[in-house]
A and B are shown apart, each in its own frame.
Chain A
Amino acid sequence: MLASILASGLAAGAIYALVGVTYNTMFSTSRVMSFTAGQLAMLGGVFGSMFTLKLGVPAIAGFVLTLIGCALIGIITEFVAVRPVLKSLDQHLYVLSTLAVALMIQQVAAIKWGTEPQPFPRLIGWGTGVTDEKFWLPVVACAITILGLEYLYRRTLVGRAFLAIAEDNFAARALGLPERNLRIASYALAGVIGGIAGFSGGELLLAFFANGALLNFYGFVPVALGGLGNNRGAIIGGLALGLFQQAANFMVGGIFSSVAVFTLFIVVLLTAPQGLFGASTARRV
């Protein structure tokens, strides 16, 4: 039982963590919580299954095409749902605009792809039981993504420009950084990360349009737990959420495990509103 909790808990947790990072990546350059993050991960599974199973594209090419598709959806989100509301962030119109785009993505996926879950191919074929690739693949994908992001943010000029925009948007613009282009790039990057989450978790979650709403919520929990904009917090929060959820599945069963997750979420928000790893910020008065 413990092995099963660890295997499926870490796998689901890694997917939630990646969706959390997707939220953070979009937030960092725009200060917008885009509720399309879960839908990007859903599309990772749907595009992956479409390219590799339906269209017969080899797995690696299918993976690349999936990431390109998700990046494009990320860019469209920036143009359609984020840019028009940036001037009135304090009115939180982005909640409506990004939710609207998320719903559109979900409905189009349901109509074009179907409302039944579709199979996702075995990618490597390693492992059985609790060591099956459907369990370890999301964890490996999460680890590689985090390493890649660390490299991007710390060792490359573009990554540092992202950090500069995230740190102080006005100062970065005053220094001549192309804020708009960097924001578009960050939404494309978020699309790629969401695509990786969906593709690596495809064998576990299947290619299913309803995964979007699920991942929107379970991906948001680690962001809230770990602190907005804090990727390390999102990773730890995501993995903890996956393990807690799977343990609750074993201990108390389906519906009650969701209640347990919501209860934990609310308790953490009440006790540490800035998140377990987030720093509370001073407010100008």
Chain B
Amino acid sequence: MAISRRDVLLGSAGALGAASFSFPAPAIADSEPIKIGCLAAMTGPSSAPTIGFNRGVNFAVEAINAAGGVKGRKIEIVMRDTQGDPTKAVNATQELISQVKVHAIWGPFNSGEALATTPIMARAKIPDIHPCVVETLIDPTKYPNAFRMAPSNSQWDDAVRNYCLNVLKVKKIAVIGDTTGYGVTAVGASVAAFKKDGADVVYQANIDATQPDMTPDMLRAKNAGSEAIVVWSVTTGMEARMFNTRAAMNWDVAFVGHPSLASGDIAGLVEKPENWKKVYAIGYKSCSYDAAGKLPPKSQELVDRLTKAGIALNDTLLWWIAGGIDAVELFAKAIETSGSTEGPGIIAYLNGLNKYPGYFGTYTFTPTQHNGYPTEDIVMSEASTARNGTFALAPGYS
């Protein structure tokens, strides 16, 4: 039979039309791995938390996958090294969303990066869990997809104030920070909150972190009658100099404040080990041991599991590892409960989370509150008592 040009045209049009009909999606999607993107500063100066978080993430993923995955689907972590650089974090976020097509993102791990990436993730409606402290990163109206599983700055501030006023029972406070944007903001907020609670802020200062001699500020704080010095800084050199100056002045005032007061770097910077005593850094109930040296049972169980799995604890913090595990398990639970990897389902699950017992903390989210970590789980630790990533509770806790 001869085929006319008209037949060819008709056949082509028919084929094109048939190709445009929708076919049912193949069942392959249900067996595809669940892709969780991870924005991690794996190298560079701010890589220490990432190392800890990643140990937890890998531990949790291996455990879930070994148990058969989430409804038969394996979890796959797609890690991107941001080097702590917001520009690299933005590029990595865009790549994870548009090319890798991840189902959820864990991270980034510092506020500078998160300030840049959070609006991008919000536009793409990608569920995001992060541990960054800056207040403005959480706004359920602007960023309904973003959830914080660690304390915010104001929660740290509340915990420090509570310890000074209700546990140490001191009223005359000195508040000192460094001259970075963080130091200036944190000192301002802390002073305002102390005054609101009726405390007498007798001295406040922002000190250049490279200032070699802390005697002038410490002398002024002492002359003003300070009964406790609250420190908001991440600069261990400045903190160690203040401890050394306190010893040289024969002053036994307590330092209370930022977690960096417990940084291992300080051990080499204090002139004598006893200069680091009576220093209380922000810590967490789940990662603090009591006077008998015992961790809470759930944390001890985790430490035992981690030790059995050969995961090192002595060069990191337990809360980083626990936080990494919790983040992965939260996503897994969300996908299991919602029955899909679609963003709205994961976000709806997280919005309804009520007192979820994680290893790091007990999380609660609502549609209007995405700060999930309870303030009452924040405690003060004896700064110089690090043991396998945990610390001794500061005096005053039963």
Which positions in A face B, CB cutoff 8 Å?
1, 4, 8, 11-12, 110-111, 114-119, 129, 204-206, 208, 210-211, 214, 246, 249-250, 253-255, 258
Contacts of A115 in B (CB 8 A): 45-46
Contact A249 B209, beta carbon cutoff 8 Å: no
**Is B216 on the interface with A (CB-CB < 8 A)?**
yes
- Contact partner of A12 (CB less than 8 A), chosen from B212, B219, B220, B240, is B212
Please, could you name 22 A-B residue pairs with CB atoms under 8 Å apart, sorted by A?
A: A4-B213, A4-B216, A12-B212, A111-B45, A114-B45, A115-B46, A116-B236, A116-B237, A116-B265, A117-B265, A118-B268, A119-B268, A204-B213, A206-B269, A214-B210, A246-B213, A249-B213, A249-B217, A253-B216, A253-B220, A254-B208, A255-B179
Which positions in B face A, CB cutoff 8 Å?
44-46, 179, 205-213, 215-217, 219-220, 235-237, 240, 248, 263, 265, 268-269
Contact A254 B45, beta carbon cutoff 8 Å: no
How far is B47's CA from A238's CA once the two chains are assembled, in angstroms? 38
Contacts of A205 in B (CB 8 A): 210, 212
In the assembled complex, how far is the CB of residue B117 from the closest CB belonging to chain A, in whole angstroms?
A: 22
Most B CB within 10 A of own CB, among A110, A246, A249: A249
- Contact partner of A111 (CB less than 8 A), chosen from B44, B236, B237, B240, is B44
Contacts of B265 in A (CB 8 A): 116-118
Q: CB-nearest residue of chain A relative to B45?
A: A115
Contact B211 A249, beta carbon cutoff 8 Å: yes
Can you add 6 more A-B contacts, CB < 8 Å, to A1-B219, A114-B45, A254-B211? A117-B237, A118-B268, A204-B212, A205-B212, A246-B216, A255-B179
A interface secondary structure, majority: helix
Contact A4 B220, beta carbon cutoff 8 Å: no
Q: CB-nearest residue of chain A relative to B264?
A: A116
Contact B248 A129, beta carbon cutoff 8 Å: yes
Contact A210 B210, beta carbon cutoff 8 Å: yes
Q: CB-nearest residue of chain A relative to B220?
A: A253
Q: CB-nearest residue of chain B relative to A249?
A: B216
Q: CB-nearest residue of chain B relative to A253?
A: B205
Contacts of B236 in A (CB 8 A): 116-117
Contact B237 A208, beta carbon cutoff 8 Å: yes
Contact A255 B219, beta carbon cutoff 8 Å: no
Contact A8 B215, beta carbon cutoff 8 Å: yes
How far is B264's CA from A118's CA once the two chains are assembled, in angstroms? 11
Q: CB-nearest residue of chain A relative to B178?
A: A254
Contact A8 B212, beta carbon cutoff 8 Å: yes
Contact A254 B206, beta carbon cutoff 8 Å: yes
In the assembled complex, how far is the CB of residue B276 from the closest CB belonging to chain A, in whole angstroms?
A: 13
Contacts of A214 in B (CB 8 A): 210
How far is B271's CA from A129's CA once the two chains are assembled, in angstroms? 12
Contacts of B208 in A (CB 8 A): 254-255, 258
In the assembled complex, how far is the CB of residue A62 from the closest CB belonging to chain B, in whole angstroms?
A: 17
Contacts of B248 in A (CB 8 A): 129
Contact A254 B212, beta carbon cutoff 8 Å: no
Q: CB-nearest residue of chain A relative to B263?
A: A116
In the assembled complex, how far is the CB of residue A207 from the closest CB belonging to chain B, in whole angstroms?
A: 10
Contacts of B220 in A (CB 8 A): 253
Contact B215 A253, beta carbon cutoff 8 Å: no
How far is B208's CA from A115's CA once the two chains are assembled, in angstroms? 16
How far is B260's CA from A117's CA once the two chains are assembled, in angstroms? 13
Tell me whether A117 and B269 are in contact in the complex, defined as CB-CB below 8 angstroms, given that A110-B45, A206-B237, A254-B205 are known contacts.
yes
Contacts of A12 in B (CB 8 A): 212-213
**Smallest CB-CB A-B distances: 8 pairs:** A117-B237, A115-B45, A8-B213, A119-B268, A254-B207, A249-B216, A250-B216, A116-B265
- Contact partner of A255 (CB less than 8 A), chosen from B46, B206, B210, B235, is B206
How far is B110's CA from A189's CA once the two chains are assembled, in angstroms? 42
Contact A254 B269, beta carbon cutoff 8 Å: no
In the assembled complex, how far is the CB of residue A153 from the closest CB belonging to chain B, in whole angstroms?
A: 31
